[in-house]
Amino acid sequence: MQLSSWGTTMSRLSGIRSIMDDIAATAGRQSDGAWCNLSPGNPAHIPEVVDTWRRLAGEALREDFFAAGGQYGPSRGTNALVDAVVRYFDAAYGWGIGPENVVVGPGSQLLAYMAVNAFTGPTAGGERELVLPCVPDYTGYQGLSMAEGGTAGVEPVVVHEDERRFRYAVDLDAVRRRTSMGAMLVSSPGNPTGRCLDAAELDGLIAIAEERGVPLIVDHAYGQPFPRVVDAPLAPVFHPHVVNCFTFSKAGLPGERLGFAIGPAEVIDVLVSFTANAALHAPQLVQTAAARALDSGDIDVLAAKTINPYYRAKRLTAEELLHDRLPESVDWRLHSSDGGMFCWLWIDHPWFDDLDAYRELKNRQVFVVPGRHFFVPPLDTPFLAGHGRRCIRLSLSGEEDVIARGITCLGDVLTEQQRNA
Ligand code: PLP
């Protein structure tokens, strides 16, 4: 059977597909201590979070089973959830939005996929590309565009903060040089780095989106208002050229596939049609539970009192372990973090190769993610050919002993690789 060009593009083994394969390889095996998985974006199983969602899902099941689960509903999302989102965001940010500005989808990944393909690829004005304004960024963005080679990543400016710490900055001039842009997409706080856009960067990207007449899609998967794994105060903005994506995944429901987007009505309307055509609508029982979480304020309690402090503590522990267990003689640097669920490490030596390190760690039953998956291939610029192969991502959502074991193994691997170099 002959695959179409879209079929060929979508069937390639992407970074996200290999992460999902690693999740499958370790699923159910963490408990016997065999695998040490510092790879997935799965949120941690925090007892208070699990209890709250179990209670809310139980209420939805008891009280709304037929209304929510027993019949088809609106492609925009259930009235209960859409109205709850409108009330919640108006109260939090004073946006003055209405239901026409909201669409609920089966996960924010699918919402991003729809938004990207609605504005990039072949258009009446020629091929338009998806621009990632600051790579490295979420590896799941690379499989979104159905156009072959339809995604361009813009290299960041690297800022050295001290001998163990660095940071990327958005190169707005380089973003502006992308001439055939159809949409921009950025995560903030970012996966893998934990960096948040600052006000000047966000304003700069919005100005470019306006100049080019394209949407800027901002992915708040880890940010405000929930799960709020973020310490930087920059709030999301409502703007005619900004589509904001939010998800319940990192607030404890990754398996239920529920996200929503807020943006200008004409863009949201496109996404509602896309949803109707591709999926009819998102699952509804979980929408009922999510509406209850927003209306009751339970989601704010979880975000502020449980999820945010949990990851802040994990991050501190991981940083201490890195300083304690990685060899003094190795030039490793950590991206300074504003939030998120990961540590992004740069091992600045020609002998370090992220894929070799991944394989070596996997032999010791430790999973990390090779850094190259977060840069848009081909890694053919001098910066990416070097830097793009010298980074790895570690997840903070495992138990402390798993993180400690993984970082200890990483220290052993680095010591051996340096000795053999
Ligand atoms: N955006 C980012 C930055 C992510 O890291 C992830 C998952 O890891 C997603 C989106 C996917 O979110 P969802 O589960 O809502 O599809």
Question: Which atom of ligand 1 is found nearest the CA of 248?
Answer: 15
Domain count, the chain: 2
Please say whether the beta carbons of 391 and 371 come within 8 A. yes
Instruction: Classify the phi-psi angles of 155: left when phi > 0, otherwise alpha if psi is within -120 to 50, otherwise beta.
Output: beta
Question: Which atom of ligand 1 is found nearest the CA of 108?
Answer: 15
Q: Which domain holds residue 122?
A: 71-298
The residue whose CA is least distant from atom 2 of ligand 1 is 221
Same domain, 187 and 218: yes
Same domain, 313 and 331: yes
Q: What distance in angstroms lies between residue 418's CA and the mean position of ligand 1's atoms? A: 35
The per-residue pLDDT for 376 is 86
Beta strands at 242-247 and 332-335: parallel, antiparallel or unpaired: unpaired
| Pocket (CB within 6 angstroms of ligand 1) | 41, 107-109, 138, 140, 187, 191, 219, 221, 247, 249, 254, 259
Same domain, 234 and 355: no
The verdict on residue 62 lying in a domain is no
The per-residue pLDDT for 30 is 47
For position 161, which CATH number holds?
3.40.640.10
Cis geometry, peptide bond prior to residue 378 (ω within 30 degrees of 0):
yes
The verdict on residue 197 lying in a domain is yes
Between the alpha carbon of residue 330 and those of residues 325, 334, 408, the distances in Å are 11, 12, 14
The residue whose CA is least distant from atom 8 of ligand 1 is 41
Considering 242, 276, 298, which residue would you say is the last residue of a domain?
Answer: 298
Q: What distance in angstroms lies between residue 366's CA and the mean position of ligand 1's atoms? A: 23
pTM over 0.90: yes
The per-residue pLDDT for 384 is 85
The per-residue pLDDT for 11 is 80
Same domain, 233 and 308: no
Please say whether the beta carbons of 122 and 150 come within 8 A. no
Considering 258, 281, 298, which residue would you say is the last residue of a domain?
Answer: 298
User: Residue 412, class by beta-carbon neighbours within 10 Å (0-12 exposed, 13-18 middle, 19+ buried)?
Assistant: middle
Contacts by residues 352-358 (CB-CB < 8 Å, ≥ 24 positions apart): 352/389, 352/390, 352/414, 352/417, 353/389, 353/390, 354/389, 354/390, 354/391, 354/392, 355/389, 356/417, 357/392, 357/410, 357/413, 357/414, 357/417, 358/392
Same domain, 250 and 110: yes
The verdict on residue 56 lying in a domain is no
d(CA 219, CA 164): 28
Place of tokens 């002959």: 2
d(CA 72, CA 276): 11
Beta strands at 102-105 and 259-262: parallel, antiparallel or unpaired: antiparallel
Q: What distance in angstroms lies between residue 271's CA and the mean position of ligand 1's atoms? A: 18
d(CA 369, CA 377): 16
Please say whether the beta carbons of 92 and 225 come within 8 A. yes
pLDDT in tens, the chain (421 residues): 999 888 888 887 666 666 666 666 666 554 455 788 887 778 999 999 999 999 999 999 999 999 999 999 999 999 999 999 999 999 999 999 999 999 999 999 999 999 999 999 999 889 999 999 999 999 999 989 999 889 999 999 999 999 999 999 999 999 999 999 999 999 999 999 999 999 999 999 999 999 999 999 999 999 999 999 998 768 999 999 999 999 999 999 999 999 999 999 999 999 999 999 999 999 999 999 999 999 999 999 999 999 999 999 999 999 999 999 999 999 999 999 999 999 999 999 999 999 999 999 999 999 999 999 899 866 678 888 899 999 999 999 999 999 999 999 999 999 999 999 8
